Each structure stands twice: as structure tokens, then as C-alpha cells.
Amino acid sequence: MKKILCIILSLLIIPCSLLSLSACESKKTETATIRLCEVTHSIYYAPQYAAIELGFFAEEGLTIELTNAGGSDKVMTAVLSGGADIGLAGPESAIYVAAQGNENHPKIFAGLTACDGSFLLSREQISEFEWSAVIGKTIIPGRKGGVPRMMLEHSLRVNGIDPKTDVILDDSISFDLMAGAFTGGNADFVALFEPTATMVEQQNKGYIVASVGKTAGKAPCTAYYATPSYLEKNPDVLKKFVRAIKKAQKWIEENSAEEIAKVISPQFAETDLQTITAVVERYKTVGAFSKTTEITKESFDLLQDVIIEAGELEGKVEYEKLTNFVD
């Protein structure tokens, strides 16, 4: 009788065990989809692409649907309208919305870059560049009101140069045409992002003479943000997202430019590996890739100071009001 009872119990236990195992497997494969809208597709955001290519998001059970908005204002529109869950853009877009009194303004929950990612190129080769070399010259600076333009102006100011009187800033040229205008003969200097800056230099049509980010100082020029409602409803998803980014930041810090370039190269199929490597090396050298997802109040204040001195913001938005960092 005992033997029969043991057999019956065994038969009952086995299906339960299988059911439990099945539930565990189901839990393991459970994924969440994040609609991530980025301001542009750039090697400047290497940690994000490393997280995709190395499977860090997948390890966290996340599927990333990545779209390129082509402008920070468009990223903000996508986030506010519900067309995207998370935005990756300059914090200034979130600052502007909050400054206008919008109570549902998105909050920054993680940072990605530590300083501006643009570089100043000269038409002539300068072996030992001093910022005084731009006095009286024409510079193609980018869109008025954009952070790259404001960071360039700040770089001029910290070197004792008044951007309104000491140089000519030709902002009549749109962002996507700046490199072409410069190589076509316009202006003496131009501020360009990578990989465009390196490609112009490879063509011997310009020479990188300074890092705007290194000159202007540590400021969070790119960050992730989401609406308060998304932050409140998806705390676990956001923790997983930030955990994946942190893994990627650590991996970027510990690996060579060559290894990083190989990993992220599928994201930049139209750019050769040598160029990607050169760009990554340059960004690592100037400290453009942030080592942490948290943005300090000091660096956030610097960004707002730069925006205020450019005349695009009347007063600072409280750091605590605009940020909600996820561990």
C-alpha cells in the first residue's frame, strides 16, 4: 500500500515540478519593449550601441525599438505625445519644457555623455592651436539656440573672446550642410560632430584643432528622459534599462577603441572601421563618454549657465525638479 501511495505521490509531484520549471522558463523569456527615440545616430552615443550589440539589453529582458528623430525638439514631441517611451537628447529640451511651466514635463533619469561632442576644424593646419587664432575670423557654429552652438560660444568666452564682437558666426547654414559648406570654401573654421569631423580631416579639407567639449567643461549634453507617468508605471523596466547602460559604460571604459569600434560597427554600416576607431579614440581621449548614469548638480548647473549666457533661458530650473535618477 505504501509503495502504491509513493508512486501516486511521485506522479503528482512530477507534473507540479514540470509546471514550476515551465513557469520559471516563462519568466526568464518574458520581455518588455522600449520605444527609444534618439536625437541623431552618432558614435558619440557608443555606450548605447554597445549595450545593443553586446546583448546587455537582451540580458535584462528588454527589446529596444530605436528610432532617429533628427532633432531634440522632435524627440521631445515624440515623448510628450506618447510616440516614444524614452527620449535621448540634450537636457536643454527638458529644461525648456519645465521652464515654460508644463507640470507634466519629462524628467531626466540617466546621463550618457559627459561633455559636448563637437570639434573645431581649421581650414589651415595649425601645429599649436590657441583660441586667439579665431579672432576676426568666420566660424560656422551650428544652429542658434542649439547646445553645440552655445558650448562653442562658451569655449570662446572662457578664452577671453566675445562671440558677438571678436568673431563672425555664420549661422545661415543648416546643421546637415555645415561640412559641405566648409569644404566648399565657406568660413575659416567650423564646429563639427563625429564622424564628419574625422572624414573632413581624412580628405585634407580641414584640420581638427580643438575639442569644444574639453574646452567648455563637463556638462551633460545628452541624457535619457521620460514623462512622470512612464517613470511611475515602469520602475522595474527603467531599472533594467539603466543597468544595461551602466554595463555598457563600464565595458567602454575597460576596452580599447579598436575593440569598441568592432562591436558598434554594425550600427554604422556606411562608415569604415578605421574611421569608427579613430572617432572612438578621440571621444575617449576627451572624456566624452560618461562613466556613470548620474548627472551631478555641478555639471547640470554649468549646462544651464551656458544656456543662460547665450540668452536662451532666463533662470535656472531646479535640479531636483528636473531629475529623477534610476539606480
User: What's the average model confidence in pLDDT over 287-297?
Assistant: 95
Task: With residue 118 as reference, give the H or E element that holds it.
Answer: strand 118-122
Distance, in Å, from the CA atom of 133 to the CA atom of 137, rounded to the nearest integer, reads 8
* Dist CA 230 CA 238 (whole Å): 9
Quick one: pLDDT band at residue 291, thresholds 50, 70, 90?
A: very high
Query: How would residue 275 be classed by pLDDT, with cut points 50, 70 and 90?
Result: very high
Q: Dump pLDDT digits (tens) for 237-249.
A: 999 999 999 999 9
List, in order of start, the domains of the chain with CATH numbers: 32-115+219-322 (3.40.190.10), 118-216 (3.40.190.10)
Grid coordinates belonging to 156: 570662446
Using the predicted structure, report yes or no on whether residue 97 has a pLDDT greater than 80. yes
91, HSE (Cβ side, Cα atoms, 13 Å): 36
Identify the weakest region by mean pLDDT among 22-26, 125-129, 273-277, 285-289. 22-26
3-class secondary-structure state, position 29 = helix
Residue 77: its pLDDT value, please?
Answer: 94
The SS3 call for residue 323 is strand
Per-residue pLDDT, 242: 98
Q: DSSP readout, 33-77?
A: EEEEEES---GGGHHHHHHHHTTHHHHTTEEEEEEE-SSHHHHHH
Q: Indicate the average pLDDT of the chain.
A: 90
Instruction: Provide the whole-model pTM.
Output: 0.85
According to DSSP, the residues that pair with 119 across neighbouring strands are 192, 211
DSSP H helical ranges for 159-313 = 178-183, 196-202, 212-216, 228-233, 235-254, 257-264, 273-286, 297-309
More confident residue, 325 or 30: 325
